[in-house]
Amino acid sequence: MGYVTRIVIIGGGPGGYEAALVAAQLGAEVTVVDCDGLGGASVLTDCVPSKTLIATAEVMTTFDSSYEELGIIVADDTPPLEQAARVVGVDLGKVNRRVKRLALAQSHDITASVTRAGARVLRGRGRLEGMQALDGSRKVVVTAADGTEETLVADAVLIATGGHPRELPDAQPDGERILNWTQVYDLTELPEELIVVGSGVTGAEFAGAYQALGSKVTLVSSRDRVLPGEDPDAAAVLEDVFRRRGMNVMARSRAASAKRVGDKVEVTLSDGRVITGSHCLMAVGAIPNSAGLGLEEAGVKLRESGHIWTDKVSRTTAPGVYAAGDVTGVFALASVAAMQGRIAMYHFLGDAVAPLNLKTVSSNVFTDPEIATVGYTQADIDAGKIEARVVKLPLLRNPRAKMQGIRDGFVKIFCRPGTGIVVGGVVVAPRASELIHPISIAVDNNLTVEQIANAFTVYPSLSGSIAEVARQLHTRKATGEF
């Protein structure tokens, strides 16, 4: 019987479990060391729970903003003096019970897939033990919850330990009134007045969701606008929608502290102003889970931020040690983590592998409307990193958008001036996460605006706007308008 390659994966999130599936399929002996349940933060406390919560919020928003325009009549027995009362409400306890149930079911499904593929799942915390042995192997010590230890020998180790919410020293979450994004699913009643600190993707998603569910939301942003890392046109649309729906968006306001005062929370800003709410959600970034893993002693180089340095095939500076996901700080996306994990296994096990190409990654902000992007950005073009032409078309002109009562959003495509090859795009719309895919295919396969323009679209459809933008780019390129 021939030698079997031994793989140990520390962390069971998308980077870890996808790597386990690949390695097992390629004939390796795989052990996944995980302490929380397979799926990691993505499934248990982040993507799956938040998008489940947002699904309820999305229905509320659609109903609230469109039912009158679409001619829907709601029978209501509210007395005339109280006629302004909300027609539709939400049971947050029931919503959160559904959130947790779905997250747990997804975790169980992943565990079943991994074990069915032939991998072993070991509950505990893993750490690297010392440097590489003379035969090229590595030791991983696994500590179970009861303190017992087991030592594993591996030919290659993948670190996929993720990250955890960053906390401000003077705004420590208590899980009741001051919360991080992993704790919101324990709420049984809707926050009356929610202060969200941080206007990145996580902050914007939760602020929009709770506003839709019926909370009075204040969004504290230290930057000039919400979503400072996203397309500026898209961020402007979203901020306008937020304000129009009654959200208090406080730009250029940095939170210094948060404290409980009875059944309220007081958030003090760096300029001395104090704002009060019933609850506060801290969404001020994440810290990589790279401490206590024996990394530096094993020869793994860390960045100043604590993230693990990796190359394009997920190698660290230590031979036989790979890393994937949020712990690397490459892109905090489940899709990227999964790709990094798969690439690591393909590389180590000698299968065909293509280096990670971040310019083909599509991502989405699950606000309402959603913001989906792929490829080069407006910032890249403005900074001169690439020369590209751009056309932006508002959804207001789209017949299907008019039928559905959609007023906000646009499609924007970037293409190369000479060839018309599509290098990036932005979609701001309901379900933009579904609409970005044709642009992603174009970016990944170097398709031209002419090819997109010539492909049939359904009439009427929101995707028709993608073809229309491509037609305008192709026409202007051909006539030399640019």
Who contacts 243 (Cβ-Cβ below 8 Å, separation ≥6)?
249
How far apart are alpha carbons 398 and 407 in whole angstroms? 10
Ligand-binding site membership of 204 (annotated): yes
Could you tell me if 419 and 394 are in contact, meaning their C-beta atoms sit under 8 angstroms apart? no
How far apart are alpha carbons 355 and 340 in whole angstroms? 9
Ligand-binding site membership of 170 (annotated): no
- Residue 236: name the closest of 119, 134, 97, 378 by CA: 378
CA atoms within 13 A on the CB side of 178: 20
Ligand-binding site membership of 51 (annotated): yes
Burial 158-188 (b: 16+ CB within 10 A, else e): bbbbbbebeeeeebebeeebbbbbbbbbebe
Ligand-binding site membership of 93 (annotated): no
- For the chain, count helices (H), then strands (E): 13, 23
Within a 10 A sphere around the Cβ of 244, how many other Cβ atoms?
A: 11
Q: Residue 205 carries which side chain, given as an amino acid letter?
A: E
**Alpha carbon 24 to chain centroid, angstroms:** 27
Could you tell me if 247 and 57 are in contact, meaning their C-beta atoms sit under 8 angstroms apart? no
Q: What is the pLDDT of residue 1?
A: 46
pTM of the full predicted structure?
0.93
How far apart are alpha carbons 45 and 383 in whole angstroms? 36
Could you tell me if 183 and 175 are in contact, meaning their C-beta atoms sit under 8 angstroms apart? yes
How far apart are alpha carbons 334 and 322 in whole angstroms? 17
Q: How far is CA 175 from CA 182, 186, 260, 318, 472, in A?
A: 9, 8, 12, 38, 52
Ligand-binding site membership of 182 (annotated): no
Ligand-binding site membership of 292 (annotated): no
How far apart are alpha carbons 163 and 41 in whole angstroms? 8
Could you tell me if 26 and 351 are in contact, meaning their C-beta atoms sit under 8 angstroms apart? yes
Ligand-binding site membership of 76 (annotated): no
Mean pLDDT (10-residue bins), the chain, 482 residues: 86 97 97 94 90 90 72 66 62 94 96 97 96 95 95 98 95 96 95 97 97 96 94 97 96 96 96 97 97 97 97 98 97 96 98 94 96 97 96 96 94 96 98 97 98 97 97 79 62
Could you tell me if 227 and 237 are in contact, meaning their C-beta atoms sit under 8 angstroms apart? no
How far apart are alpha carbons 248 and 216 in whole angstroms? 8
Ligand-binding site membership of 304 (annotated): no
How far apart are alpha carbons 49 and 166 in whole angstroms? 19
Ligand-binding site membership of 198 (annotated): yes
Peptide bond into 228 cis (omega under 30): no
Locate 49 and state its tokens.
């729970």
Q: What is the pLDDT of residue 73?
A: 73
Ligand-binding site membership of 326 (annotated): yes
How far apart are alpha carbons 364 and 40 in whole angstroms? 20
Could you tell me if 326 and 343 are in contact, meaning their C-beta atoms sit under 8 angstroms apart? no
How far apart are alpha carbons 48 and 53 in whole angstroms? 9
Ligand-binding site membership of 200 (annotated): yes
Ligand-binding site membership of 202 (annotated): yes
The Cα diameter of the chain in Å comes to: 83
